[in-house]
């Protein structure tokens, strides 16, 4: 049985199509203009240039002497992996203990951690610089990793806590009777069950670390010579923002990896986001 | 096998294990998030240029007086408030509206959701540069306008226009997240209530008011708080889209802290501005939570 579209449905489909088109226009412009010369961009920004398209500008952006985008990918990926590993290594045990201890002190600790979600992290970067200087990690990747880990702790711990709390306590008791200590129980029983929530947290933390600009800009600084994708884009595009043959190709190279990952994993990313938020 | 009740040394060992499992998280969190907040509060009462050998000099509320007395900074407060309030309203309206339209799961709607969400995976810095190339004086839109013989529009070069352009860009890049939250929330609306409303002959609007909206309460809270806090710290997009100009019309507090007060080595003032933002975020969160609590109480007293 085929349903005919009612007029309301037609309007809805048309409206959503229009909005979708509007959302995609900037990306279309980015792709199309990455292959054109400045004159072509200024003359015909909207039309693709099949006849005169050239990879020259993309190659130039790739070989930019100020900023190696390949290194930028490397640094950023290393950052994403380290922050995730560290955040989970400290949050999983803590969330496990807090979820299994119903003493006032554990409620208090949980509240103390959750309060961190309301701190606009970018604005405390100035005092963070002094703290990092005090422990000798200012201007270094370990310092940046530590700070980014700290900013992900409230969310990670909160979501882990919510997840572990629903896992039956009888699992722990069975493990304890078999002689397993807390660490062994966490590692062998709880963590394997946490796979879905670990995936969710990994995806969300990765997105925020990949996209962060303020923290690497302030903590690494231009002096360190280490660029993430965002600080590298800033160095490469910042002062040449009217030279579109630099702007479009550099931006395209910066967004390709994350867009490819998004398109491949979109279902997991979006359902993960929904799950992460609803858990609260 | 020892199967009797837990022995003393074993209980102690277990307590030790539990403490050691919590301590690393507490250490990292306290050292790099809580201590900086305390430092921000402390520095906000001092005059300090950040040089290691200089001791911050206590000056009481002077930084706060400077902050509220300076037209420049009160201007950035207004800009920040406008961005946060208008942005949060626009983001949530767009997200909720589209969530209602994309609620049913089919291929077309799934595609629509992906398209609405994708800007979120781009960094705000890139988004700003991209839109600058589109809206700038030499940008794509103005080139097209000139081609068809119309005057160009001052999206980013006129103080009034620039703020609204920036908010538009932020909404474009942000509402996808809230859309996903609302879609998840809509799944939890009880189907039997919707069915009952339909049978009773309620109009779509009545159904929304009486059934959907109340069931979405907790989703709305989460969506408003998260979007509000992320808007309060708007920084990246200012750097890349407008550079806080023209004439400071898009200068947010976060930009003022990181790109003005800090480079000028005015650590005390930067800290006072940071404290103001932290307080604003806390007030926002508490207000939304209290309003929701009260709405729930009202709903219960009616029910």
DSSP A112-126: HHHHGGGS-GGGGHH
Q: Is A206 exposed, middle or buried (0-12, 13-18, 19+ CB in 10 A)?
A: buried
Cβ atoms of B102 and B112 closer than 8 Å: yes
pLDDT of residue A1: 43
Token pair of B237 as six digits: 């997009």
Per-run averaged pLDDT (10 residues), chain B, 303 residues = 61 88 95 95 93 86 93 93 96 95 90 93 94 90 85 87 95 93 90 89 88 89 91 94 89 94 92 95 91 75 51
CB contact under 8 A, A146 and B28: yes
Eight-class DSSP state of A136: T
Which of B:59-118 have CB within 8 Å of A?
98, 101-102, 108-109, 111-118
> Which among B52, B108, B258 has CB closest to A13?
B108
CA B233-A216-B28 angle, to 5 degrees, is 85
In angstroms, the CA B77 to CA B253 distance is 6
HSE of A180, CA atoms in CB hemisphere, 13 A: 16
The per-residue pLDDT for range B191-247, each reduced to its tens digit, is 898 889 989 988 888 989 888 998 898 899 989 999 999 999 999 999 999 988 888
- A77/chain B closest Cα distance in angstroms: 15
In angstroms, the CA A140 to CA A36 distance is 38
Cβ atoms of B227 and B92 closer than 8 Å: yes
Tokens 């129980």 correspond to A185
3-state class (DSSP) for residue A280: coil
Q: Give chain B's end-to-end CA distance (angstroms, integer).
A: 57
Q: DSSP string spanning A168-194?
A: -THHHHHHHHTT--HHHHIIIIIHHHT
Phi, psi for B104 (deg, rounded to 5): -70, 140
Question: Chain A: residue nearest B123 by CA?
Answer: A211
In angstroms, the CA B142 to CA B10 distance is 74
> Which among B33, B239, B257 has CB closest to A123?
B257
- A230/chain B closest Cα distance in angstroms: 7
Cβ atoms of B74 and B256 closer than 8 Å: no
Query: How many residues appear in chain A?
Result: 280
In angstroms, the CA A218 to CA A129 distance is 8
Phi, psi for A65 (deg, rounded to 5): -65, -25
In angstroms, the CA A256 to CA A54 distance is 18
Collect the ranges in chain A with pLDDT lower than 70.
1-5, 276-280
In angstroms, the CA B213 to CA B224 distance is 14
Q: Which residues fall within 8 angstroms of residue A2, CB to CB, at 6 or more apart?
A: none
Phi, psi for B151 (deg, rounded to 5): -65, 150
Q: Is B160 exposed, middle or buried (0-12, 13-18, 19+ CB in 10 A)?
A: exposed
Q: DSSP string spanning chain B?
A: ---SSPPHHHHHHHHHHHHHHHHHHHHHHIIIIIHHHHHHHHHTTEE----TTSPPEE-TTHHHHHHHH-HHHHHHHHHHHHHHHHHHHHHHHHHHHHHHHT-S-SHHHHHHHHHHHGGGGS-HHHHHHHHHHHHSTTSHHHHHHHHTTPPP--TTTSHHHHHHHHHHHHHHHHHHHHHHHHHHHHHTS-HHHHHHHHHTT--HHHHIIIIIHHHTHHHHHHHHHHHHHHHHT--HHIIIIITT-STTTT--HHHIIIIIITTTT-HHHHHHHHHHHHHHHHHHHHHHHHHHHHHHHHHHHH-
- Count CB-CB contacts under 10 A for residue A243: 12
Question: Chain B: residue nearest A115 by CA?
Answer: B282
| C-alpha torsion angle, residues A239, A240, A241, A245 (rounded to 10) | -160
Which of B:36-55 have CB within 8 Å of A?
36-37, 39-40, 43, 50, 52
In angstroms, the CA B98 to CA B93 distance is 8
- A107/chain B closest Cα distance in angstroms: 13
| C-alpha torsion angle, residues A204, A209, A213, A218 (rounded to 10) | 140
User: Which residues of chain B are within 8 Å of residue A119 when distances are taken between CB atoms?
Assistant: 33, 37, 278, 281
pLDDT of residue B297: 74
In angstroms, the CA A219 to CA A143 distance is 8
Q: Give chain A's end-to-end CA distance (angstroms, integer).
A: 42
In angstroms, the CA B9 to CA B27 distance is 27
In angstroms, the CA B216 to CA B93 distance is 13
Q: Which residues fall within 8 angstroms of residue A157, CB to CB, at 6 or more apart?
A: A91, A94, A95, A98, A110, A113, B25
In angstroms, the CA A197 to CA A199 distance is 5
User: Which residues of chain B are within 8 Å of residue A67 when distances are taken between CB atoms?
Assistant: none
Token pair of A52 as six digits: 């005169």
Nearest-CA neighbor of A56 among A29, A72, A36, A30?
A36
Which of B:143-172 have CB within 8 Å of A?
143-144, 172
Q: Which residues fall within 8 angstroms of residue B139, CB to CB, at 6 or more apart?
A: B132, B133, B155
């Amino acid at each position: 049985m085929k349903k005919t579209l009612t007029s309301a449905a037609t309007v809805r489909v048309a409206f959503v199509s229009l909005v979708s088109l509007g959302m995609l226009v900037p990306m279309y412009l980015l792709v199309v203009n990455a292959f054109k010369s400045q004159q072509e961009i200024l003359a015909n920004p909207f039309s693709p240039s099949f006849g005169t398209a050239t990879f020259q500008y993309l190659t130039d952006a790739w070989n930019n002497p100020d900023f190696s985008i390949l290194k930028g990918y490397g640094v950023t990926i290393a950052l994403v992996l380290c922050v995730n590993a560290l955040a989970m290594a400290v949050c999983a045990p803590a969330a496990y203990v807090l979820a299994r201890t119903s003493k006032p002190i554990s409620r208090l600790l949980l509240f103390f951690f959750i309060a961190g979600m309301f701190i606009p992290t970018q604005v405390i970067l100035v005092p963070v610089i002094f703290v990092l200087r005090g422990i000798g990690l200012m201007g270094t990747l370990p310092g940046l990793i530590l700070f980014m880990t700290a900013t992900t702790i409230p969310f990670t711990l909160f979501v882990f806590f919510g997840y572990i709390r629903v896992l039956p306590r009888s699992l722990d008791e069975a493990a304890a009777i078999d002689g397993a200590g807390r660490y062994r129980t966490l590692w062998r029983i709880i963590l394997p069950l946490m796979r879905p929530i670990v995936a969710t947290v990994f995806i969300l933390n990765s997105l925020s670390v990949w996209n962060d600009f303020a923290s690497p800009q302030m903590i690494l600084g231009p002096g360190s010579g280490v660029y993430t994708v965002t600080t590298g884009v800033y160095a490469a595009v910042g002062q040449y923002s009217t030279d579109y043959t630099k702007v479009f190709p550099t931006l395209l190279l910066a967004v390709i990896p994350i867009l490819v990952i998004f398109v491949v994993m979109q279902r997991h990313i979006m359902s993960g986001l929904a799950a992460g938020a609803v858990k609260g | 096998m020892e199967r009797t009740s837990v022995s003393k040394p074993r209980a102690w060992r277990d307590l030790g294990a539990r403490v050691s499992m919590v301590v690393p998280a507490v250490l990292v969190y306290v050292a790099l998030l809580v201590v900086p907040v305390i430092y921000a509060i402390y520095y906000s009462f001092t005059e300090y240029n950040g040089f290691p050998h200089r001791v911050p000099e206590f000056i009481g509320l002077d930084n706060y007086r400077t902050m509220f007395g300076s037209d420049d900074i009160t201007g950035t407060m207004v800009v920040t408030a406008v961005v946060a309030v208008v942005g949060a309203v626009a983001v949530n309206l767009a997200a909720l509206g589209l969530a209602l339209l994309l609620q049913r799961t089919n291929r077309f709607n799934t595609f629509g959701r992906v398209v609405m969400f994708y800007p979120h995976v781009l960094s705000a810095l890139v988004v700003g540069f991209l839109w600058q190339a589109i809206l700038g004086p030499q940008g794509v839109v103005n080139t097209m306008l000139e081609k068809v013989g119309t005057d160009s529009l001052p999206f980013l070069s006129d103080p009034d226009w620039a703020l609204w352009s920036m908010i538009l860009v932020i909404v474009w890049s942000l509402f996808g997240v809230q859309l996903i939250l609302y879609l998840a929330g809509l799944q939890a609306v009880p189907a039997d209530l919707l069915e009952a409303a339909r049978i009773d002959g309620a109009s779509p609007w009545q159904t929304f008011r009486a059934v959907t909206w109340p069931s979405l309460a907790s989703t709305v809270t989460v969506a408003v708080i998260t979007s509000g806090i992320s808007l309060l710290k708007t920084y990246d997009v200012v750097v890349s889209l407008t550079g806080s100009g023209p004439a400071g019309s898009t200068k947010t507090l976060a930009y003022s802290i990181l790109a003005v007060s800090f480079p000028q080595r005015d650590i005390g003032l930067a800290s006072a501005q940071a404290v103001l933002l932290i307080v604003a975020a806390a007030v926002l969160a508490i207000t939304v939570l209290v309003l929701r609590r009260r709405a729930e109480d009202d709903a219960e007293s009616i029910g």
